[in-house]
Chain A
Amino acid sequence: MKTRKRLIVLFLMPASLVYLVFFLIPTVWAFYYSLFHWSGFGQSMEFRGLGNYTELFHDPIFLLSLRNTLFILVVGGIIVFTLAFILTVLINSGIKGKKLFRAMIFLPNVIATIALTTLWAFIYNPSFGLLNSLFKLIGWEAGAKYTFTSIDHIFYAMLVALIWIEVGFYLVLLMAGMDKIPIEYYEAAKLEGANQWQMFTGITVPLLWDVISVATVLYTIIALKIFEFPYAFSQIQPPPQIYTVGMYLYIMGFGKRDPIYRLGYATAIGVVLLICVLVLVLLLRRLMRREIIQY
């Protein structure tokens, strides 16, 4: 029994220690920092109470970044899951080359974010980009002159690229879940005269429910903390139109070309983000809780 205790301590200690010092403690500290006015590392901190938070909710750029993030979460999420479902059903419709299609659709997920944003910079570039050149080639004047990365369009241009990546990820998750559903269920349903849609809503969705709920929680977390993709997408001087909460945090903390160093304020943004994750994940888990169907 003694060696068993020793094993537990020895095996858990290193991971727990690193996790505690470089993950959990900084998380808790963030709450503390968010209460201060603090204008640079090495500068003195001035207690502000909840001042950073009240300022945040009157800051139009923060509200814009929050709106953008929620747009990625809700509208982006609906599009991603719809497309992932459609592609999953098509891939599972008995065609050949199932694994090859899955591998190609998933491919963007193994490529570096910054390489992907650069690829899309080539697609959207107004002077030699693929899209404008394509429109020119087919003689569509208006399309050839369209600037996809102008400040009014850049957010949506980014979202399209993001969807292209994410669909592959959720396709893989949904396919893995679907492969576990016994084919007999569908055969029996077919004998009873069920159509495709009835089989989808009556068999696929209920039996896939736990996968769908894990996938939704995962997408929520990923969408809320998104920073790398839109930040790299907009290159060195991102306009506020493309800000996400994560980007605004980074810009308030570290600045774009010129440093800003509003450290307390930036941390308060992070705390709001964490609270959003907590609330939404708990809410989703509650909403999506159903009896898991054993099969």
Chain B
Amino acid sequence: MVKLDRFRAQDTYEHIDQEEEFLGGHLARLHSVKGYKASALMTFKGELLASHSSDTQIDLREVGKVFNDIFRTAHEVAEKIGFNCCQEIVINTPKGIVVMRCSGIEVLIHFHLMVVIAADGNLALSKMELEKMTGPIMAGLS
């Protein structure tokens, strides 16, 4: 039903709002993870489809592309050594953790998900949520 409404509303401002709400709704699953700071959904080229931040210092519209580039370079190098493309990158820093997840390069829609949590945030739960979100987002985008 939701999908049908989205289809009917194509090419209207209402449609854009609906799309943002639809994609943002998926990211909302991450908000309850302990230590959550920010999240984003991007095309594999780094174009932002949806983002959310609860930390004023983190503007993923600005740095999302840089992290996306890191991911794409990792894709290429991992392939070079026969590991296939990378599914996930976890970057640990003294003040936080950045997790990036790929939907898969050979799937219908290749997109990247990103979440930033505090250093003591729940990394395992973030990873699980990203994994669980991938299927529904793919179904919604296709």
| Bound pair (A, B) | no
